[in-house]
Amino acid sequence: MEERNPMTVDSVRELLEKAGASVMARAGRSEHYSAPREFSFEVRGAFANGLELHVVARQFTYRDPWEATGRVNDLVDASLLKDGGYSPLPKGYPFFQGTDEETGLDEEQLKELIACVQGINPKLYELQKLTGDL
């Protein structure tokens, strides 16, 4: 079985910042005892094209002792926001087709998603509205 890289609030923040997003982040239970039990961290990045990516690690994955120690976040969930609400990506992209959330993303999938969202031309939304595809 292939080893997944654990993700932290800082590593996800760094991925979004490298892609040119303006980023806000907060961590959950590890720093704030009153946070919901299933909440680990969330990071939100706003791109120059008007799209925002909201990444949430809902809970820690507990590994068996022989695999690693402690709690890690192997998988995260992501939502795409446009104009203050959930949005699909235009047709032809591998993410957010018919759903407002991509769940269970590992680090490599998250990198692909960030690159995809970063590269979207906002005029594509207008074009697909005109053609009836969106």
Does 53 map to a domain? Answer: yes
Residue 1 is predicted with a pLDDT of: 46
3, part of any domain: no
Q: Is the pLDDT of residue 97 over 90?
A: no
- Specify if 17 maps to a domain: yes
**Looking at the domain assignment, is residue 2 inside a domain?**
no
Domain-located, residue 51: yes
Distance CA 102, CA 130 (A): 26
Q: Which residue has the higher pLDDT, 127 or 58?
A: 127
Q: What is d(CA 41, CA 56) in angstroms, rounded to the nearest whole number? A: 6
Q: For residue 114, tell me if it sits in a domain.
A: yes
- Counted domains in the chain: 1
Residue 28 has a pLDDT of 65
pLDDT of residue 43: 92
**Which residue range is the domain that position 108 belongs to?**
9-131
Beta carbons within 10 angstroms of residue 93's beta carbon: 15
Instruction: Please state the φ and ψ torsions of residue 98, each to the nearest 5 degrees.
Output: 80, 10
Residue 59: pLDDT above 70? no
- Residue 93 is assigned to a structural domain of this protein: yes
**Strand segments (E) across 1-134:** 22-27, 41-46, 51-57, 61-62, 71-72, 76-82, 85-86, 101-105
Does residue 95 lie in a domain region?
Answer: yes
Q: Tell me, what's the pLDDT at 116?
A: 93
pLDDT confidence bin for 108, thresholds 50/70/90:
very high
